[in-house]
Structure formats: C-alpha cells, structure tokens
Structure 1
Amino acid sequence: MSNEVPSNAEIAASVGSMPWWLVLVWGLMAIIIGIMLITTPVITTYYLVLFMGAYWFVGGIFTLVSLFQDKSNMGWKIFLAVISILAGIAIMSYPLWGEVIVLTMLVFLIGFWGLLIGGTKLYEAYRSKDAGSGILGILSIIFGIILLIFPYGAALALPLVAGVFALLGGISAAVMSFQIKKAQA
C-alpha cells in the first residue's frame, strides 16, 4: 500500500473527469436520505436495513451464479454467498430485529475501532513524544469505551448522526458539482 498523498493536480484531473451531473445527483440523494434520517430516523433506518438485506440476498445469488464463469476461490465464494443469502433472508424476514442487530453491531464495530485507533495513537505519542497524538488516543479510547458500555443508546443515535453527515456531505457534493461544471466549461 502506498502512503503517497495525491497532488492537487492529480485530484483536479480525477475530479475533472467526472460528470458534474453525477456528483449533483449523488449530492441530492445524500441530502434526501439525510433529511429522511433526521426527520424519521426509525422508519428510514428500517427501510435502509431492509434494502441492505435484499442487497445481500441478491449479491449472494450473483456470487453463486458467477461460479459458472469463474471457478477460482470456489470455496470462499460459496461460503460468502451462503452467508450473504442467509443474512439477507434473516434481515428481510425479521426487519425490526435486523435493524436493531445491524445498528448495534455497527456501534460495537465503531467502539472497537475507537479502542484500536486510540491504542495506536497512544503508542505513536509514546514513540514520538507527541502530546497531540496522546490526547487524540485518550479521547478515542474514551469514545470507544462509551460506545461499548452503551451500545443500544448509541444505536438509537446512530441514524441521526448519519443523517447529519449525509446532509452535510450532500450539500458539499452539490456545491462541488457546480464547481466541477464551471471547471469543465
């Protein structure tokens, strides 16, 4: 994996090749989902998780069908396809439980990730004598512990937080789309 940071020219070249209207559509969709998550978080999350279950189910079927074309890694593909199909069926059969389980598992994942990042930052602070990394490490560990202690409360707040991020990201993408259009003209 490369640690090189792309230059402004490389970023401009890759963004300049994107159709501006595609960025606008993405932004508008993110704004709509963000507003829906903020105004009706339970129902919107319910349908997003239900969509995810259908996506996993169909993805598992496509993975199995792809074995007729490409038999490489056959064992893994069958395993992943069966897991995807079973998870999709479970979520579509019990969408309310699926919503609770998916959000709670996501909170646990974020909590453990916070602990891992925090530990890494503390080690980095110890090695480089950087107080800033140490503070970020401590904050990350505290954040991870809070999420792991209160997973259900965090799961309830997660759709609202995701809604705010989707709304802000959508607005940014919409603004960026017009800047891309102007740059491409």
Structure 2
Amino acid sequence: MTDETLPGTVPGGVETDLFPWWLVVLQGFVTLMLGLFLLMQPGMTLLVLVTFIGIYWFITGIFAIVSLVLDRTDLVWKAIIAVLGIIAGILVTTYPLYSTVLIATFFAILIAVWGILIGITSLARGVSGGGCTAAVLGILSIIIGIILLARPLLTAASLVLILGVFAVIGGVMAIVAGIRMRR
C-alpha cells in the first residue's frame, strides 16, 4: 500500500487529517488570488503586502513590550525585538512606497549574495575532487549571482512575478488537493 492509498493522505503523502478539506480549498483559493494579483498588479499588490508586513512588525514590537512586562527573562532580546519591531513598523507604514522598493531590493540582494556564496562553495568542492559538474554549477551560480547583484531593482521586479507564478501554481494544487480530500 503506497502513501497515496493510505487513509488520511493525498498524493505526495500529505496528511489530511490535520485540516478539513474546505480549509485547504480556501487556502488554495486565497493563494491563487494572491498569485493573480501579483501577476496583474505586481506593484500595488507588493505595496499592500509590505504594508501588512509593517503592521505585523509593529504589532510584534508591542507584543514584545507586553512580554517584557509579564516575563523578565531574555530582557535584552525582548527589548531589541520591541524597539526594532516598532521602529520598522512605523517606518514601513509611514513610507510604504519607499519600503516596498527597499524590502524587495534587499531580498534581491540577499538572493544574489546567497547565489554567489553557494557558487563559491560548489566551485571549491568541484576543484577539490567533487567533479567537473560541481565546478561548472558553481561558476554558473557565481555568474548569476553577480548579474542579480548588478541589477537588484530588476531582480526585485522579477521576483514578484516569479512569486506570482508560484502562488498561482500552489493555489491550484491546494484546491485540487482539497477537492481530492473531500472524496
């Protein structure tokens, strides 16, 4: 008996007893809609998402202050989280346009640096006996990382569209999985 035929699973072995089928369909629908919004109105959708992130950071900072009052353990970390959360939340919600560009660009730069570091590691592994394939993939990763790093705004705009495509695909897959769970 494979995991697809076990009770309480859907293809891929995902356990379905944790969530009702309609909740999985609802999540899929919301993810699909987000993906479509990201593809049709990437700037506005990203602006709204970043504003929600700012609100979340602000609320996290407030909760950290409440946690400080109720529990004095990890005082320094809670204070740092509180201050940073409140400041970041205020800045992001006060300047949502700038924040959208900065946050998306920061993630693009982070991905580029990560690609370069992975490339260096793969190249070193390939040179030290890991094989020609690892070295070639390392060089490609370094080149792609440098290209992404050279154009972080273009990379940020591309990431929004890529995220939109993944959200559409993930949303459709969740809807299908939820419908299959019902049967």
CA offset digits 1:81-138 (Å, max 9, x no partner): 1111101100100110011111110111111111111122223333453333333322
1:123 maps to amino acid: A
Is the aligned partner of 1:36 residue 2:37? yes
Q: What CA distance in whole angstroms lies between the structure 2 residues aligned with 1:148 and 1:43?
A: 24
1:129 maps to amino acid: G
Residues 145, 59 of structure 1: CA spacing in aligned structure 2 closer, same or farther, 3 A cutoff? Answer: same
Corresponding residue number in structure 2 for 1:73? 74
Q: What CA distance in whole angstroms lies between the structure 2 residues aligned with 1:65 and 1:42?
A: 35
SS in 2 for 1:71: coil
Corresponding residue number in structure 2 for 1:164? 165
Residues 139, 177 of structure 1: CA spacing in aligned structure 2 closer, same or farther, 3 A cutoff? Answer: farther
CA offset digits 1:127-182 (Å, max 9, x no partner): 45333333332222122111110111112222111111111111122222233334
Corresponding residue number in structure 1 for 2:15? 15
Corresponding residue number in structure 2 for 1:92? 93
Q: How many residues align?
A: 176
Q: What CA distance in whole angstroms lies between the structure 1 residues aligned with 2:148 and 2:44?
A: 23
Q: TM-score, normalising length from structure 2?
A: 0.86
Give yes or no for contact 1:15–1:180 (8 Å, CA) kept in 2.
no
Cα drift, residue 69 of structure 1: 3.0
Q: TM-score, normalising length from structure 1?
A: 0.85
Cα drift, residue 14 of structure 1: 5.8
Q: What CA distance in whole angstroms lies between the structure 1 residues aligned with 2:27 and 2:134?
A: 35
- The within-5 A match list for 1:1-185 is 12=9, 15-19=15-19, 20-182=21-183
SS in 1 for 2:15: helix
Residues 179, 128 of structure 1: CA spacing in aligned structure 2 closer, same or farther, 3 A cutoff? Answer: farther
Q: What CA distance in whole angstroms lies between the structure 1 residues aligned with 2:173 and 2:131?
A: 33
Q: CA RMSD in A?
A: 2.3
SS in 2 for 1:140: helix
Give yes or no for contact 1:35–1:167 (8 Å, CA) kept in 2.
yes
- Structure 2: where are the runs of 5+ without partners? none
Residues 180, 121 of structure 1: CA spacing in aligned structure 2 closer, same or farther, 3 A cutoff? Answer: farther
SS in 2 for 1:146: helix
2:109 maps to amino acid: F
Give yes or no for contact 1:115–1:144 (8 Å, CA) kept in 2.
yes
Identity %: 40
